[in-house]
Amino acid sequence: MTRSPPLALIGLEALLASLLAGTAAAQPPAPLPQPAVAPSPSPPPPVAADDGLDGLGDLGLEQALPAEDEALTIYGFADVTYMMYFLHDDAAAAALFPKENRFAVGNLNLYARRALSDSWRLLAEVRFLYAPNGATHDDGTIDQTSTNDPADFDRPLNWGGIEIERVYIEYDVHPRVTIQVGSFLTPYGIWNVDHGSPAIIGTSRPYAIGEALFPERQTGLHAYGTLNVGEYTVGYHATLSNGRGPYETFRDLDQNKAVGGRLTLEAPWAGTLKLGASAYGGRFTDRDSDISVIEDGKLVNTTPKGVSYDERAFAADALWTHGRFHLQTEIITRHIAYRNGARGVSGFGEGFAPDSFTYGTYGLGAYRFERYWNITPFIMVDYYRPIASQYLDTIATVAAGLNFRPLPSVVLKAMYGEGWFPGAPDLLADVHLRTMVFQVACIF
């Protein structure tokens, strides 16, 4: 194939810009180097006829591609779990937890990523759910979403829902500052960022994570960046969001924006040590819609007060890896103070909900072997102090298991866990909950 050098060069520049836009996708800070995305001020040398770059078509990098990366990358993960509860029908815990052994499809999450330019990106993640089908209410009733399928002779089908895990647009403002706008996972700790079952060693989340002492995700602005100082890396995150609420992804019922932040340090101490500290402050409000009435010929609007509290959450985390050893821990606290006249009702039927201080911590240790599908024995200890009540004081669990990685994209897990309720009054005093969970997770 014969081309004039300038045209070939333009094509190559476009190709490289395209190439780099893909390379730069979701990199923390940083626009691409100017020479990579814009024509050089001085004309580069002509392409030699024997350059061999015509063969780029073999790599899917045809010369006719535009300068932008138009590729939409779709990927995701899924997991299937088999859960066994070692409970007898007459055990007290059988009244609190499902006692039947069962298979369950846990997650089917789909990601869409697009590099909009060298410094703009989009990431969306949605989770497909069978819920609300099968969701159990406090009164014991179970939702069933059976309906007739008009496309299949009205045969019955059960429909499910979709949860938008996150969706944001990201822009590199500066090499040290990237801003996300949209719905993002709250940048705190280790577990909430690891997020997906294939990336998590165990089969289930510690209580302090699962109970969302920090909101799992927020809607608003998220700025972050890193700075390399010698062998150390310092990172920061700052968030401004609607905060927690019943419709937080599109409404802020109290118009009180939540703020949060996180600082991290990565150091090459005896392997790699990553330390983090996070904070979050915001106001939760749940109320009915505004009421509008006509009084004396004028439209008068009233905003019901509802339930509202201010919350402050703090967390610290550490992750140490040394060769194949992996050790991680987090401690998370949350303080709730109800506003005057806006106190909620206790979830335990004990009248008004009190102001509360909740905290939890966990530690996870693992060692990954090279052989046998990278077998990784692990142990996890979890301690959680929920809102004080006459029924519950503390939840403690110990779990041990094995994690296999036969392929980078396939994870097999087996975890045995035992949980009990130290300090609990009569009802839960002797309850021990034992579970065995098997899980297959894959990235596709």
Partner 1 sequence: MRRPIRIGPLLVGLLLSIAVAVEPIGPRAAEAEPATKKRLVVIVGRDSPVTDLSRIELNRMFTGSVVYVAKLRLVPFNFPPASRERTSFDGTMLGMSPAEVGRFWMDRKIRGQSGAPRSLPAAYVVKLVARLPGAIGYVAEDQLTPAVRAIRVGGLAYTDATYPLFLQ
For partner 1, the closer of residues 197 and 241 by Cβ is: 197
Closest CB 20 distance from partner 1, rounded Å? 6
DSSP assignments along 230-281, one per residue: TTEEEEEEEEEE--S-TTTTT--TT---EEEEEEEEEE-SSSEEEEEEEEEE
Looking at the DSSP bridge assignments, the partners of residue 420 are 396, 432
Q: Does 185 bind partner 1 (CB under 8 A)?
A: yes
User: Per-residue contact track with partner 1, 92 to 131, x per CB under 8 A?
Assistant: -------------------x-----------x-x------
Provide the b/e sequence for 134-146 (b: ≥16 CB within 10 Å): eeeeeeeeeeeee
Give the nearer residue to partner 1 in terms of CB position, either 233 or 356.
233
Q: Which residues pair with 128 in a beta bridge?
A: 162
The residue within the footprint of partner 1, chosen from 312, 339, 343, 405 (CB under 8 A), is 405
What token pair was written down for 338?
């109800």
Q: Which stretch binds partner 1 (CB under 8 A): 206-214, 286-294, 309-317, 366-374?
A: 366-374
DSSP annotation of 92 reads G
* Cβ within 8 Å of residue 10, ≥6 positions away: none
Helix (H, G, I), strand (E, B) or coil at 62: coil
| 243 versus 417: smaller Cβ distance to partner 1 | 417
Closer residue to partner 1, CB minimum distance, 204 or 358: 204
Among 8, 14, 30, 431, interactor with partner 1 by CB under 8 A: 30
3-class DSSP state for residue 368? Answer: coil
Cα–Cα separations (whole angstroms), residue 257 to 119, 177, 260: 27, 21, 10
Is 276 a binder of partner 1 (CB under 8 A)? Answer: no
d(CA 318, CA 265): 10
Q: Does 39 bind partner 1 (CB under 8 A)?
A: no
Nearest to 312 by CA among 283, 349, 269: 283
Query: From residue 190 to residue 229, what is the string marking binding to partner 1 with x (rule CB under 8 A)?
Result: ---xxxx-xx--------------------------x-x-
CB atoms inside a 10 Å sphere around CB 5: 15
Among 11, 215, 360, 401, binds partner 1 (CB under 8 A): 401
Site string (415-434) toward partner 1, x via CB under 8 A: -xx----------------x
Binding mask 238-267 for partner 1 (x = CB under 8 A): ------------------------------
CA atoms 78, 84, 85, 88: torsion sign: positive
Stretch that binds partner 1, among 142-150, 336-344, 356-364, 394-402 (CB under 8 A): 394-402
Helix (H) or strand (E) holding 22: helix 5-23
Quick one: which of 19, 275, 381, 412 contacts partner 1 (CB under 8 A)?
Answer: 19
How far, CA to CA in Å, does 273 sit from each of 265, 267, 270, 319, 361?
8, 5, 8, 6, 19
CB of 224 to partner 1, least distance (A): 11
Which of 5, 10, 27, 134 lies at the binding interface for partner 1 (CB under 8 A)?
27
Give which of 209, 107, 203, 106 is closest to 415, Cα–Cα.
Answer: 203
Question: Under the criterion CB under 8 A, does residue 23 sit at the interface with partner 1?
Answer: yes
Question: Measured from the CB of residue 206, what is the shortest distance to partner 1 in angstroms?
Answer: 18
Tell me which DSSP letter residue 60 carries.
T
Residue matched to tokens 């990431």: 123
Q: Is 88 in the site for partner 1 (CB under 8 A)?
A: yes
Q: Which residues bind partner 1 (CB under 8 A)?
A: 12, 16, 19-20, 22-33, 35-36, 40, 44, 51-53, 55-56, 59, 75, 77, 86-88, 111, 123, 125, 166, 175, 185, 193-196, 198-199, 226, 228, 231, 233, 268, 369-372, 374-375, 377, 400-402, 405, 407-409, 414, 416-417, 434-436, 443
